[in-house]
Amino acid sequence: MTAPHLRKKDLLSILDLTKEEIDLILNVSDMIRKKYREREPFVPLLGKSLAMIFRKSSTRTRVSFEIGMFQLGGGALYLNPNDIQLGRGETIPDTAKVLSRYVDGIMIRTFAHSEAEELAASAAIPIINGLTDDEHPCQILADLLAIKDRKKSLKGLNVAFIGDGNNVANSWLYAAPKADMNIRVASPHGYEPAKHVVEKAKELAQAGRTQVLITNNCEEAVKDADIIYTDVWASMGQEEETEKRKKDFALYQVNEALVKHAKKDHLIMHCLPAHRGEEITAGVIDGPNSIIFDEAECRLHAQKAVLALLMTK
C-alpha cells in the first residue's frame, strides 16, 4: 500500500490533513476492517515496528495501537519515559534520532504539544500524536468513522460538544469544517477553546461553507444536533482542579433534559473514560442513542489506517 495523498510524514494535528486525506483515512479504515473481519490476510507492516512513548497513561491508545500493529503484521514497543533515557535528561532530538535507527515509526502520548513537534522535527520516521494537551487527532478520526458508520454521510451534520474547550474540542473544531460538518462548542466562562483555535476553525468553516459556534449556552449548542459529544471535566494533569471544575461545570452535564433539544436520532459520544453522574448521566451514556463503545472500537480501525498509510511509504 502506498499513500500518495498524505503530504506529510507525520500526523500531529488534524490541520496536517486535507479533506481528501481525511476521506482517504476513513475509506482505508473501512477497507482494513472488512479484510480483518473476513479473515483476509492484510499485513502491509510485516516486519515493521512502532515505538510508543507514554508520558500519560492510557487504555484505548495503548491497546489500539499495540493490537493494530500486530494485526497489520508488525510489532509495537511500549516505552515509559522513566524506563528510557528521555526520563533522565536525554534530549528529545537525541531520542528521536536514536529511535529512527531502530524502529519504523513513533507514537507519542504526552502533555506538551511542543514535545511531539520537537520529536517530529528530528526524527527520520513518521511521528503520530496519540494525544497532547493541544490536540487528539486519532480520537477524532475514530469519531468520524463511527459517525459515518451510523449516518452514512458526514456532510451537513451538526455536532454539539459540551464541556471543556480541551484538546478533543480543539481537534473537533479543526475536523468538523474539513468533514463538511457544523460544530457548536458550549463551555462555561473561562473554559472556552483558545482564541487562535476558534479563529482557525472559523477560517476553515468559511472556506467550506459550514458553521462554527462558540457559546456558553448548552441548549443553543444542542438544538437540532445530530451528535452530542462530551468529555471529562478534569483531564489528566488537572486533578488539583477537580473540585473547582465540578462547580464550574455543574450546568454543563449531558443529561436527559438536555438531549431532548437534539434530533431524535442523535448520537451520544464520549472519548472515555467517562465519569457517570458528572459530565454525563448513566441514563444517557448507556442509553439507546449512545455509540461510545463503537466509537472506542473505531480507534483500532482508524489508527490501523493511519499506521498503514504513514509507515508503508
37 tagged catalytic? no
Which structural domain range is residue 223 located in?
139-293
- Residue 127: per-residue pLDDT: 98
pLDDT bracket for residue 291 (50, 70, 90): very high
* 6 within domain boundaries: no
pLDDT bracket for residue 4 (50, 70, 90): very low
* 40 within domain boundaries: yes
162 and 202 part of one domain: yes
299 tagged catalytic? yes
5 tagged catalytic? no
* 9 within domain boundaries: no
Q: Based on the structure, what is the number of domains in the chain?
A: 2
193 and 286 part of one domain: yes
302 and 279 part of one domain: no
133, 149, 164, 231: the active-site residue: 231
- Residue 3: per-residue pLDDT: 43
* 5 within domain boundaries: no
For position 236, which CATH number holds? 3.40.50.1370
152 and 289 part of one domain: yes
pTM given for the model: 0.96
176 and 236 part of one domain: yes
237 and 261 part of one domain: yes
* 46 within domain boundaries: yes
60, 139, 218, 245: the active-site residue: 139
33, 109, 184, 245: the active-site residue: 109
pLDDT bracket for residue 14 (50, 70, 90): very high
130 and 145 part of one domain: no
* pLDDT tens, residue by residue, 93-117: 999 999 999 999 999 999 999 999 9
Mean per-residue pLDDT of the chain: 95
155 and 267 part of one domain: yes
298 tagged catalytic? no
136, 184, 266, 270: the active-site residue: 136
113, 270, 299, 301: the active-site residue: 299
* 251 within domain boundaries: yes
244 and 168 part of one domain: yes
Whether residue 297 is predicted with pLDDT greater than 90 in this model: the reply is yes
16, 218, 253, 271: the active-site residue: 271
Whether residue 6 is predicted with pLDDT greater than 80 in this model: the reply is no
Q: Which of 1, 25, 49 is closest to 298 using CA atoms?
A: 25
* pLDDT tens, residue by residue, 188-235: 999 999 999 999 999 999 999 999 999 999 999 999 999 999 999 988
160 and 268 part of one domain: yes
- Residue 83: per-residue pLDDT: 81
305 and 208 part of one domain: no
- Residue 235: per-residue pLDDT: 82
267 and 303 part of one domain: no
